């Protein structure tokens, strides 16, 4: 919490600044950009750099002081990274409408998923590590047909009719609402699979007034989500 606190007069006098955010791809369109648009209307002289990457690279950027703020799915614990807020989001199999997996019912077991042709994010993505760990617990082998380093590429795999991908539901909400994709919840013997979206920063970094204000706004938005 200390990372988002600043002197009141510092925030009141906030005029200009630059904030660098490292984020996983799935939250940019639905969460981050709308918030920054609202922030820009209030603080038009604050500029931003957004680097879209995998969870591992988000944490590395914070540790190496290349980024002020990070948004990551299921990050590995790090003594140097401070978690500000976290939210749970369902993990889903993403399919085209009419795909047999989409018609199988309201959810899909990991065993049924393993029988599908899969195009998955690689292991730099937290959602992939979560899926691999869950399948290992079920004694299932996860050998996707295709591994990619981009969520948009994983979506393109599905769009081309090649098979399924697995993503946090958050990442395909727009396509699901448009009817382009079907999002099928996944479950194992423990229950439904979910990914944790974590808002974080370097534990010891002194953030600028602009970065603290953005971090506070992101924290508030995640509380409301």
CB 121 within 8 A of CB 151: yes
CB 160 within 8 A of CB 30: no
pTM of the full structure: 0.82
Least confident of 4-13, 95-104, 147-156, 213-222: 4-13
Check pLDDT > 50 for residue 177.
yes
Give the pLDDT confidence of 41-76 residue by residue, as tens digits. Answer: 988 989 999 999 888 899 999 999 999 999 998 898
Distance (Å, whole) CA 154 – CA 149: 8
CA torsion 84-85-91-96 (nearest 10°) is -90
- Mean per-residue pLDDT for 156-166? 97
């Amino acid at each position: 919490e200390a990372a988002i606190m600043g002197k009141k007069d510092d925030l009141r006098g906030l005029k200009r600044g630059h904030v660098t955010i490292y984020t996983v791809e799935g939250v940019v369109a639905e969460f981050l950009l709308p918030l920054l648009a609202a922030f820009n209307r209030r603080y038009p002289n604050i500029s931003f750099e957004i680097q879209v990457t995998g969870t591992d690279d988000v944490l590395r950027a914070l540790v190496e002081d290349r980024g002020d703020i990070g948004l990551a799915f299921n990050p590995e614990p790090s003594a140097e990274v401070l978690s500000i807020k976290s939210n749970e989001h369902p993990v889903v199999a993403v399919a085209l409408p009419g795909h047999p997996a989409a018609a199988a019912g309201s959810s899909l077991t990991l065993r049924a998923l393993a029988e599908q042709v899969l195009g998955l994010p690689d292991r730099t993505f937290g959602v992939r590590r979560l899926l691999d760990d869950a399948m290992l617990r079920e004694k299932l082998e996860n050998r996707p047909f295709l591994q990619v380093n981009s969520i948009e590429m994983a979506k393109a795999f599905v769009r081309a009719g090649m098979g399924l991908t697995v993503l946090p539901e958050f990442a395909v909400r727009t396509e699901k609402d448009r009817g382009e994709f079907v999002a099928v919840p996944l479950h194992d013997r423990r229950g439904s699979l979910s990914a944790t979206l974590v808002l974080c920063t370097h534990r010891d970094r002194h953030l600028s007034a602009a970065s603290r204000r953005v971090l506070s706004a992101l924290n508030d938005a995640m509380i409301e989500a």
